[in-house]
Amino acid sequence: MSVQLNYEPVLPRRRDVPVGLIGAGFIVADCHLVSYRDAGFNPVAITSRGESARVAAGRHGIPKVYDTVDELLADREIEVVDIGVPPDVQLEMVRKTVRHADHVRGILAQKPLGASYAEAAEIVRLCREAGITLAVNQNMRYDQSIRACKSLLEQGVLGEPVLATIDMRAIPHWMPWQARQGWCTLRIMSIHHLDTFRFWFGDPDRVFASTRPDPRTSFEHTDGVCLYILEYDESGLRATSWDDVWTGPAREGAGDDIRIHWRVEGTRGLAKGTIGWPSYPARTPSTIDYTTVDDNGRWHSPRWEKVWFPDAFAGPMAELLLALETGREADLCGTGNLGTMALVEAAYESAVSHAAVAPSKWLKGE
């Protein structure tokens, strides 16, 4: 059996499109800009509060540093704006950016696309009416093992999917701005897994979620440890994730068992993998192993050097630049991402109602 694992992003022909960045926190300085440099993209300007923009510019060779967002957006050289701010600030930044549609052609927005589905839908509307191409930085789609599994599914190597699972035992580094949100895991970490299931299998019919607070997280929240099941009526597929951000008292002195494992079982094969992110900043590549009924029990274990953090962050920007280059809609377009935002909202409602909830409720505006 000939199998091609396409885990690398498709890069645009033109990589010198001038990019301006709003924000200079960890995700921008340590992931976006590192991956952009390696991919040959062209960040030309940056702004943020405080001195972080100057530090990032010096570190990554960005020629222009602006004191304010308005000053950066007035720079007519900039064709793409990369917005790297907290979710409750993102709508304001998009409102400012769309006023410059005479020279800004594209926006890369962070996930979650807003602090709620309503904010995300407003961002999509603003960009559409301004004629600006919007892509969303759902970067786990560009984790190398996630894309390798997608290749297997697209080629029918695994047959019809029966069961898919993600088992996360990891302790994220929550950011200070999360304390004002009133929520924790579902919109920040689980959104990666929910979007991955949509990437692999399409939109589910409903989700059943159960959550509890994380004992270690000091700010008020309900969605610490999150468990959820996605149901697909037509195929019968079930997809489930255990997003355990407590992971036992490892930080309190116990031994640790930090990891993210995923698994997809089909009628003709099985694929399983690991996500290397929990060991960051150590460069631990994600992995995939798969076997099929045609292999006489053989396991295939391809490996690579690239990692999710930071290498995969070139993928969403590459998608946006390709969309601008070809006129085709990006896979990570804003409209498509509303499906992920609706699934997150459905999970929140399910956790409160203790019942399965259909994400179509938000997509249909019910």
CATH fold of 18-139+315-333: Rossmann fold (3.40.50)
Burial 218-248 (b: 16+ CB within 10 A, else e): eeebbbbbbbbbbbbeeeebebbbebbbbbe
% of the chain surpassing 90 pLDDT: 96
Predicted pLDDT at 241: 98
> Residue 75 in contact with residue 51, Cβ under 8 Å?
no
> pLDDT tens digits, residue range 251-286?
999 999 999 999 999 999 999 999 999 999 999 999
Tell me which residue of 283, 263, 290 sits closest to 274, measured CA to CA.
263
> pLDDT tens digits, residue range 128-178?
999 999 999 999 999 999 999 999 999 999 999 999 999 999 999 999 999
Predicted pLDDT at 2: 73
> What are the residue ranges of CATH 3.30.360.10 in the chain?
143-311+340-353
Q: Given a cut of 90, is residue 118 above it in pLDDT?
A: yes
Q: Given a cut of 80, is residue 33 above it in pLDDT?
A: yes
Residue with tokens 């690991």: 274
Predicted pLDDT at 3: 87
Q: How far is CA 59 from CA 5, 16, 55, 71, 337, in A?
A: 34, 19, 6, 21, 32
Q: Given a cut of 80, is residue 356 above it in pLDDT?
A: yes
pTM of the model: 0.97
Predicted pLDDT at 289: 98
> What are the residue ranges of CATH 3.40.50.720 in the chain?
18-139+315-333
Tell me which residue of 92, 103, 84 sits closest to 36, measured CA to CA.
84
> pLDDT tens digits, residue range 180-221?
999 999 999 999 999 999 999 999 999 999 999 999 999 999
CATH fold of 143-311+340-353: Dihydrodipicolinate Reductase; domain 2 (3.30.360)
Q: Given a cut of 80, is residue 366 above it in pLDDT?
A: no
Predicted pLDDT at 169: 98
* 43 SS3 class: strand
Q: Counting every residue, how long is the chain?
A: 366
Predicted pLDDT at 1: 61
